[in-house]
Structure 1
Amino acid sequence: MKLFLKKSLLSLSLSLAVAMASPKAVVMDFGAVDTLQALDATDLIVALPKGNLPTYLQSLDWSHAEDSGGMKSPDLAKFKEMPIDLIVISPRLGNQVETLSEYAPVLNFTVDSDHYLESVSENITQLAKLADREQAADRALKAVTDEIAQIQAEIAKSDQQALVVIHNDGKLMATPTSGSAKFIHNFLGVKNAEKMPKEGRQAADLPYLTSVAPDLIFVIDRSAAIGSTPMDQEQVEKSLIIPLNEALDKEVKMVYLDPTLWYLSGNGLISIVKEAQEIKAALKE
């Protein structure tokens, strides 16, 4: 069956229709990978960044697929050797769209975090059309939407206020307006401890955290996700959380999120639910 894939280069505001039969894809975005997994269509994947696989995808058999190189550094020499109908990328490769387009049409699996569910649903629907799994995608999206609605209802009952921080190379930075923060606060409904969130990052030191006074601190460890030295959780507890508790006269809980899920993936049929469940569990503890 021939399918018509609308290739949306959202970052460049370009689109075109590409007709293809038995399409084969290089998938550089793990949200797209887990969406194809949920739709039982991983056979379409001829290559993916095997060296960066998130933990939740490592148990699958990827022997049929080539290693496409790093998430930010695709192996273009290998691209020349493979029959490719489509390249699916994340925003990390947004500045390489023109180069990648020389090998195959490019679908940018980016997400509008201010219109999250609509944006994610559009991406998933596009992949489903490519994989000839539209009915399965409709069912999966409904199941995801229903589960998320239940999680949102549970979260709405909590008065706990949270702050999202990222760890990188020994430094903690508050990111109250990042994509992950918008997913947690705007989409899931967790109350934001930062009442005046600003774009960019703020050093998550004791004075700042004391002024924000969060009940929860969600940590996304970039260093751990990319294979560098992870955050020393015990040291951070001793040097930052204990003094913070004393300053605020309350117990602030630091929640270490799955770094490979939150930093390397997201926005797929599987990863959306995994992330939401992780936040729900943290609020219940």
Structure 2
Amino acid sequence: MINRRNTLAALLFGALASVLSFQSPASADVVIKHAAGETSIPDSPKRVVVFDLATLDNMNRLKIDNIVGVPEGIKPKYLEQYNDAKYTKVGTLFEPNYETVASLRPDLIIIAGRSAPKFNDLAKIAPTIDLSVNNNHYLADVDRNVTILGQIFNKQKEATDEIDSLNKKLEGSRKLAADKGTGLLVLTTGGKISAFGPGSRFGLLHSGFGVKPANDKLEVGNHGQMISPEFILETNPDWLFVIDRDAAIGREGESAAKLLDNALINKTKAAENKHIVYLDPQNWYLIGGGLSGLHETADQLDDVFSKAK
């Protein structure tokens, strides 16, 4: 019923958008190629609605503050300012409030990932671009997205500097990881464990940060491959990297540390050598391809690998 109401709202305010004379493609100054195609947008849009936390991170990093609407929900500390009432809450990452979005009269809407399926409905309200990343060329898409933001908001130099800084940082991280052995990344939620390998949504651990996969035949699905403590022992990684999803979204439940304090897991090389690393759950689960999140992850991995024996 809620979805139907939202769809009807999208149609209604799509019509309202044309009545209120939102920027039309014919008078736009910039054509942007993005994950969902091409969109004509006004040069240096002044009223932007953002439905993606990685984009919010990147815009914050580039000091772009043309934002009038953001999704509600948990945000990492470096994005807490967007909880302020000056930024209208426009629904969740999954479900836009179309009426609220239209009332803001945006001249640009940015979506990605969780909000990507709403592209067509949001595009009826205002020019919309999709900055989703592809797991098979994740970092290239991060670079593309930062470049796009620099182009749209006349921050080309800042965007280039940020891309260069990140790539230099990751190059150093890969060198540190090169001789540190194998790693397995798991996500815990609701007392269950899933593993993610190369090519998955968290495959950046391997492709970006240079950790050798302990198992390169894991299912590449959005939710990973369900596994057991026995599987972790059989895989026996040198390092076990953990994302606590429940902690990321503020859900109560058994912590990842408690769940993984298991007799079988404690027999692994990772446990015996104190190489179980709890990754920042918000950076990995909520943010993904954001500059600040990637820098923080690089700092964490550099620290643990530098101290490793």
The answer to whether the superposition gives a TM-score over 0.5 is yes
Once the 2 structures are TM-superposed, how far is the Cα of residue 251 of structure 1 from its aligned partner?
3.8
C-alpha distance in structure 2 between counterparts of 1:212 and 1:244, whole Å: 10
Q: Of 103, 108, 111, which aligns to 2:133?
A: 111
Q: In 2, Cα distance between the equivalents of 1:61 and 1:205?
A: 38
* Match in the other structure for 1:163: 184
Distance 2:252 2:165 in 1: 37
> Could you tell me which of 113, 118, 122 is aligned with 1:91?
113
1:168-221: per-residue Cα shift (whole Å, max 9, x none)?
Answer: 222111122464432101121101111433323333312211211112221112
Partner of 1:149: 171
Q: Which range moves more in the overlay, 32-41 or 169-178?
A: 169-178
- Which residue in the other structure is 1:187 paired with? 208
Asked if the contact 2:186/2:242 (under 8 Å) is kept, the reply is yes
Alignment-derived partner of residue 49 in structure 2: 26
Unaligned runs of 5+ in 1: none
Picking from 228, 246, 258, the partner of 1:223 is 246
Task: Give 3-state SS (helix, strand or coil) of 2:146's partner.
Answer: helix
Residues 4-30 of structure 1: CA deviation (Å, up to 9, x unaligned) = 4434452x4x21322345432111111
Letter in 1 for 2:267: E
Residue pair 1:124, 1:268 contacting (<8 A) in 2 also: no
Contact 2:184 2:241 in 1 (8 A): yes
Code of the aligned partner of 2:189? N
> Which residue of structure 2 lines up, in the alignment, with residue 232 of structure 1?
255
Separation in 2 of the partners of 1:59 and 1:279?
27
Shift of 1:230: 4.5
Residues 130-178 of structure 1, C-alpha deviation per residue, up to 9 Å, x if partnerless?
Answer: 111111111222122222212222222322x111111122211112246
Aligned residue runs from structure 1 range 1-285, under 5 A: 4-10=29-35, 12=36, 14-41=37-64, 43-58=65-80, 62-159=84-181, 161-177=182-198, 179-200=200-221, 201-238=224-261, 240=262, 242-246=263-267, 250-251=272-273, 253-285=275-307
What RMSD in Å do the two structures reach over aligned CA positions? Answer: 2.4
Gaps of 5+ in 2: 1-26
SS at match of 1:58: helix
Q: After TM superposition, give the deviation of residue 123 of structure 1 in Å.
A: 0.8
User: Which structure exhibits the higher relative contact order, with contacts defined as CA atoms closer than 8 Å and separated by 6 or more residues?
Assistant: 1
Range that drifts further, 134-143 or 273-282: 273-282
- The structure-2 alpha-carbon separation of the partners of 1:65 and 1:234, relative to structure 1 and needing over 3 Å to count, comes to closer
Deviations 1:210-252 (A, max 9, x none): 21111222111222222212542453243x2x43233669446
TM-score normalised to the size of structure 1? 0.87
Alpha carbons of structure 1 residues 181 and 79: separation in structure 2 relative to 1, 3 Å? closer
**Quick check: 1:5–1:126 contact (8 Å CA) kept in 2?**
no
Q: Within 1, Cα distance between the matches of 2:268 and 2:148? A: 50
Does the 8 Å CA contact 1:5/1:19 hold for their aligned counterparts? Answer: yes
Q: Distance in 2 between matches of 1:254 and 1:67?
A: 37
- Specify whether residues 247 and 40 from structure 1 end up closer, same or farther in structure 2 by C-alpha distance, changes over 3 A only: closer
Counterparts of 1:273 and 1:97 in 2: how far apart (Å)?
29
C-alpha deviations, 1:37-70, integer Å up to 9, x for none?
11111x2111112423223322567443111221
Q: CA separation of 1:3/1:271 partners in 2, compared to 1, >3 Å: closer, same or farther?
A: farther
SS of equivalent to 2:265:
helix
Q: Secondary structure of the equivalent of 2:300? A: helix
**How many pairs are equivalent?**
278
- TM-score scaled by structure 2? 0.81
Query: Does the Cα contact within 8 Å between 1:55 and 1:261 map onto a contact in 2?
Result: no
The range that moved more, 264-273 or 275-284, is 275-284
